[in-house]
Amino acid sequence: MNKDIILLRTVEVAAIASYKYIGKKDKNLVDKAAVEAFEVMLKNEKGFILKVINGEGELDNAPMLYVNQMLGDINNPESPIFDVSVDPIEGTNPAAYNFAGSISTIAVSRENTMLQMPEMYMEKLFVKDKYVNTINLADGIVNNVLKMQEQENRKDLRCIILDKPRHYKIIEELNKIGVIVRLIQDGDVLAAIDVVNGEADFVYGIGGAPEGCLMASLAIASGCKMQSRLVLYNEIWPNEEETKTRLNKELAWMSKHNIDTNTILEDFDLVSDYRTRFFAAGLTAGGSLKPISYKKGKFFVNAFMASHGIVRNFNTVYDVNKVNGLKPDIKYLFDKYKR
Q: Which residues of the chain form contacts with ligand VTB (CB under 6 A)?
A: 90-91, 162, 164, 186-189, 207-208, 211
Q: Which of 171, 129, 138, 135 is nearest to 150 (CA)?
A: 135
Q: How far apart are CA 57 and CA 38, in angstroms?
A: 15
Look up residue 143 and give its amino acid. Answer: N
Radius of gyration of the chain (CA): 19
Are 158 and 170 in contact by the 8 Å Cβ rule? The answer is no
Q: How far apart are CA 70 and CA 197, in angstroms?
A: 32
CA dihedral 286, 126, 58, 53 (to 10 degrees): 110
Give the shortest CB-202-to-ligand VTB separation in angstroms. 15
Give the shortest CB-31-to-ligand VTB separation in angstroms. 12
Give the shortest CB-90-to-ligand VTB separation in angstroms. 6
Give the shortest CB-164-to-ligand VTB separation in angstroms. 5
Are 192 and 311 in contact by the 8 Å Cβ rule? The answer is no
CB closer to ligand VTB out of 49 and 285: 285
Q: How far apart are CA 115 and CA 13, in angstroms?
A: 27
Give the shortest CB-124-to-ligand VTB separation in angstroms. 7
CB closer to ligand VTB out of 67 and 146: 67
CB closer to ligand VTB out of 103 and 323: 103
Give the shortest CB-82-to-ligand VTB separation in angstroms. 22
Beta pairing, strands 225-231 & 265-266: antiparallel
Q: How far apart are CA 207 and CA 97, in angstroms?
A: 20
CB closer to ligand VTB out of 230 and 333: 230
Give the shortest CB-219-to-ligand VTB separation in angstroms. 14
CB closer to ligand VTB out of 116 and 324: 116
Helix (H) or strand (E) holding 241: none
CB closer to ligand VTB out of 110 and 164: 164
Residue facing ligand VTB at closest CB distance? 207
Q: How far apart are CA 227 and CA 219, in angstroms?
A: 10
Give the shortest CB-103-to-ligand VTB separation in angstroms. 9
Measured in whole angstroms, the distance separating CA 320 from the mean position of its chain's CA atoms is: 27
Are 185 and 97 in contact by the 8 Å Cβ rule? The answer is no
CB closer to ligand VTB out of 159 and 162: 162
CB closer to ligand VTB out of 188 and 201: 188
Are 278 and 13 in contact by the 8 Å Cβ rule? The answer is no
